[in-house]
Chains A and B, each alone.
Chain A
Amino acid sequence: MNNSSDEPSNVAREPAGSVDPGFSTEDPGDDFRLVARAQQGDFGSYDVLVTRHRGRIFAMIRNMIHQEADAWDLSQEVFIKAWNALPRFEAKARFSTWLYRIAHNVVYDWTRKRKIESVGELNDEIFERERIDSASLTTPSGGESPDDSMVHGELRVKIETALGKLSPEHREVVLLKDVQGLSYKEIAEVMGCSLGTVMSRLYYARQKLQTLLKDEYESR
């Protein structure tokens, strides 16, 4: 959904102190109220929305591309595009679902650009890990440093490695459903596909992950 550039941008105003600090971080109703203010140019309200949703968007993108620095940049891009497209946001879907949709496009645009730029260079495409022998000693670890592995735990590393072996579509559907907790309908909106496609992708992605994580799965 790269339709944010063809309509006039939202205009930022500084509304110091206009945002109620008592907004719940989970209540979608609060999101709608903040969105309504932001649509009128209240940048303070939008800043609250960024704070409320940056964690989910960053986690989603980071799990998709396995690169923290790029995930940081891309997450910002999501919020900048969302601001530009805010005048067109309607309260038909949750604000978070709408953000996931923008994140989906940002990540796929970035991946496409990387593929074009890497033509003729060493192929380090992150979405082609499934082609690498999982028993290989040089299998990429998904950008995890040893320190990160210590912090995030062994299971996380195993699941991330297994996710890295899925296709981008299968990985995304698992992350949206099993990690972010979106419904089938919301995932279909985010990924721009039918409900049946989401169900099918999720079924096969789970099957493959459970096979890849068989030892881990059976021990629990």
Chain B
Amino acid sequence: MNTNPDEAKLAMWLDDELQGEELVALEAWAASQPEHVAAREEVRRWRKLVTSALPATEEPPYPEFFNGRVARAIRGQVAEPAVAGRRRFAWQSLFMPLAACAGMVLAFWMGTKTQAGPPEVVVAGAPRAIPVEPVVYTPERGVKADWFASAKASATVIVLSGLTAIPDATDFSKTAALHEEREIDATAEFKLERNDGAGL
């Protein structure tokens, strides 16, 4: 080869990719090109360094589990067409909620018609309903109770008359439940009693 090789061919020669006649021709040309021969040696040295440190193949951790997971994923995909087949009836998934909505509306409409109750029928000769005042009963005889209701105040007041007066001497503390401060820690209380009683 008298003329210089193109860059692509030279790069392939440097990386030992050329074969056959192309290799022979380039070797003949490189015989007079010591810098290119040195460059090829440099590439070879570099490749040797890299391959000595980084393996081309490295088993993944848990290799059997690795294959198993691939197999499961693929089988899972195979099962998908059956699911897709069901999806063909997409109109069903649209129809069902619409039918449910229509049913709900119908039920609501019927409810509004029936909630008012049956129409009032006037029976000849029957007494008409009379509004009755509420009655308040008291547990003691002779005690009268009057009630006053105010819708405006949202309040109902009951007034009792006829009750005996409460004597001034009545001790309310005996009837009322008064909260006493007590020691929660029983152990501390016990210790205090021992100190007082036994003089420890």
A83 to chain B, nearest CB (A): 5
CA distance A179 to B71 in the complex (A): 28
Chain B neighbourhood of A79, CB < 8 A: 70
Q: Tally the A-B contacts, defined by beta carbons under 8 Å.
A: 111
Q: Is B175 an interface residue (CB 8 A)?
A: no
Known contacts A12-B78, A178-B47, A206-B46: does B58 contact A55 (CB below 8 Å)? yes
Chain A neighbourhood of B54, CB < 8 A: 59, 63, 156, 159-160, 175, 179
Chain B neighbourhood of A36, CB < 8 A: none
- A184→B11 contact, CB < 8 A: yes
Q: Is A50 an interface residue (CB 8 A)?
A: yes
Q: Is A24 an interface residue (CB 8 A)?
A: no
Known contacts A12-B75, A54-B67: does B56 contact A156 (CB below 8 Å)? no
Name the residue on B nearest A60 (C-beta). B56
Give me 21 A-to-B residue pairs in the complex whose CB atoms sit less than 8 angstroms apart, sorted by A's number.
A9-B80, A47-B67, A54-B59, A54-B60, A54-B66, A58-B59, A59-B55, A68-B61, A72-B60, A75-B60, A76-B70, A80-B73, A84-B77, A177-B15, A179-B50, A180-B56, A203-B11, A206-B46, A216-B49, A217-B46, A220-B49
- Which residues from chain A sit less than 8 Å from chain B, CB to CB? 9-12, 43, 46-47, 50-51, 54-56, 58-59, 62-63, 68, 71-72, 75-76, 79-80, 83-84, 152-153, 155-156, 158-160, 174-175, 177-181, 183-184, 195-196, 199, 202-203, 206, 209-210, 213, 216-217, 220
In the complex, which of the residues A12, A71, A159, A202 contacts B50, with contact meaning CB atoms closer than 8 Å?
A159
Q: Is B156 an interface residue (CB 8 A)?
A: no
Known contacts A9-B77, A75-B66, A83-B74: does B57 contact A55 (CB below 8 Å)? yes
Known contacts A84-B77, A184-B12, A217-B49: does B70 contact A55 (CB below 8 Å)? no
CA distance A12 to B78 in the complex (A): 7
Known contacts A76-B70, A83-B74: does B56 contact A56 (CB below 8 Å)? yes
Q: Is B35 an interface residue (CB 8 A)?
A: no
- A178→B70 contact, CB < 8 A: no
Chain B neighbourhood of A178, CB < 8 A: 46-47, 50-51
- B71→A47 contact, CB < 8 A: yes
CA distance A127 to B135 in the complex (A): 88
Q: Is B8 an interface residue (CB 8 A)?
A: yes
Name the residue on B nearest A210 (C-beta). B46
Q: Is B63 an interface residue (CB 8 A)?
A: yes
Chain B neighbourhood of A152, CB < 8 A: 53
- A12→B74 contact, CB < 8 A: yes
Known contacts A54-B67, A59-B55, A196-B8: does B73 contact A184 (CB below 8 Å)? no
